[in-house]
Amino acid sequence: MSQLFPKSANSLARASHVIVAALGGAVLLLVLNWNRMPWVNNQGVARDQPVPFSHQHHVGGMGVDCRYCHTSVEVAATAGIPPTKTCMNCHSQIWADSPTLEPVRASFREGRSLQWTRVYDLPDFAYFDHSAHVTHGVGCSTCHGRIDLQPLTYQVPSLQMEWCLDCHKAPEKYVRPKSEVFNIAYQPPANQLELGRRLVKEYGIKTRISCSTCHR
């Protein structure tokens, strides 16, 4: 009986091992990196908003302090999205007739809230607290990036748990002097690790990585 397979089949069989392994690897890679894809985690995605609010203009251009609008950032879990009244403090005078701002004026006139789309959307089982971070030397730009350069706000980090843990495991990599927390253009010094270690000690920062720190 002649052989069923020619000798070249051996090569095919060997190649199939590689192909199957490569395919399996690709699937594994896809699964493992699924949540790292911006398409899934919205990293870098700017959202549609009722009014095209520009942080670049307000923060970068006008130099408005973060806390003028985000009033509760130092005392509460949420930084706070400003009430329409805050917008109208200026915009009843400046750009008072701009058609772009009509939704803001309508909201104020009719007493209906503006509905913003959340850009930084943590899952509901993760409890983040702004006050705990900004009172201990975590700067706004550490998570929100150079918001003064963003015309439309987008999510800078991935917001994946590995990203949270990166800092929670080694806060000295990111912590800055308390006086620089709201400095949006802050650049970490060359000796960040040295400074960070000193500040971690000074501010009494603990590396909290147990589940209940964020999940409850």
Partner 1 sequence: MSTETRIDLSQVRRRLDGQGGRRYWKSLEELAETPGFQSFLHREFPENASLWTGDAGGRRDFLRLMGASMALAGLTACTKQPPEKIVPYVRQPEGIVPGKPQFYATALNDHGYAKGVLVESHMGRPTKIEGNPEHPASLGGTDLYGQAAILALYDPDRSQNLLLEGEIRTWSQFTVALKAALDAQKALKGKGLRLLTEPITSPTLAAQVEALLAEHPEARWHQWEPAGRNSARVGAQLAFGQPVETRYHLDQADVVLSLDCDFVSEGPANVRHIRDFASRRRLQAGVEPNRLYVIEGSPSATGASADHKLVVKPSQVEGLARAVAAGLGLAVAGGSSDRAAFVAGLVKDLQAHAGRSLVLAGEGQPPAVHALAHAINEKLGNVGKTVTFSDPVEARPVDHLASLAELAADLKAGQVDVLIVIDANPVYSAPADLDFKAALDKARLRIHAGLYLDETGERCQWHVPLAHTLESWGDLRAWDGTATLVQPLIAPLYGSKSVHELLAACSGQAAKPGHDVVREHWQAQLGPEFEARWRQALHDGVVAGTAFAAKAVSVQPGAWAQAAPAAVSGMELVFRPDPSVGDGRWANSGWLQELPKAITKLTWDNAALMSPRTAEKLGVKVGSTSRGQSTELVELRYKGRSAKAPAWVVPGHPDDVVTLHLGYGRTRAGRVGDGLGVNASLLRTSDAAGFGGGLEVRATRQAYTLACTQDHWTMEAQDQVRARNLMRVVELEEYQRDPHKIAEEFAHHRPAKDLTLYPPDHKYEGNAWGLVVDLNACVGCNACVVACVAENNIPVVGKEQVAMGREMHWIRVDRYYEGDLDDPAVHHQPVLCMQCENAPCEMVCPVAATSHNEEGLNDMAYNRCVGTRYCSNNCPYKVRRFNFFLYQDWETPSLKLQRNPDVSVRSRGVMEKCTYCVQRINVARIEARGQDKPIKDGDIKTACEQACPAQAITFGDVNDPQSRVAQLKQQPRNYGLLEELGARPRTTYLAVVKNPNPEVSHG
Whether 85 contacts 174, CB under 8 Å: no
Whether 109 contacts 171, CB under 8 Å: no
55 exposure class (CB count in 10 Å sphere: 0-12, 13-18, 19+): buried
211 near partner 1 (CB under 8 A): yes
Residue from the set 75, 96, 185, 193 that interacts with partner 1 by CB under 8 A:
75
List, in sequence order, the alpha helices (H) in 34-83. Answer: 38-41, 55, 66-69
Q: Which stretch binds partner 1 (CB under 8 A): 11-19, 109-117, 144-152, 175-183?
A: 109-117
Distance CA 150, CA 152 (A): 5
Distance CA 212, CA 216 (A): 6
Pick 82 or 145: Cβ nearer partner 1: 82
Q: Which stretch binds partner 1 (CB under 8 A): 10-18, 128-136, 142-150, 172-180?
A: 128-136
Kindly determine how many residues on this chain lie close enough to bind partner 1 according to the rule CB under 8 A: 46
Distance CA 31, CA 129 (A): 30
Burial annotation 130-151 (CB, 10 A radius, 16+ → b, else e): beebbebbbbbbbbbbebbebe
97 near partner 1 (CB under 8 A): no
Pick 102 or 121: Cβ nearer partner 1: 121
36 near partner 1 (CB under 8 A): no
Residue from the set 11, 33, 117, 191 that interacts with partner 1 by CB under 8 A:
117
Give contact residues for partner 1 (rule: CB under 8 A). 34, 39-40, 42, 47, 72, 74-78, 80-85, 107-108, 111-118, 121, 123-125, 127, 129, 131-132, 135-136, 204, 206, 208, 210-213, 215-216
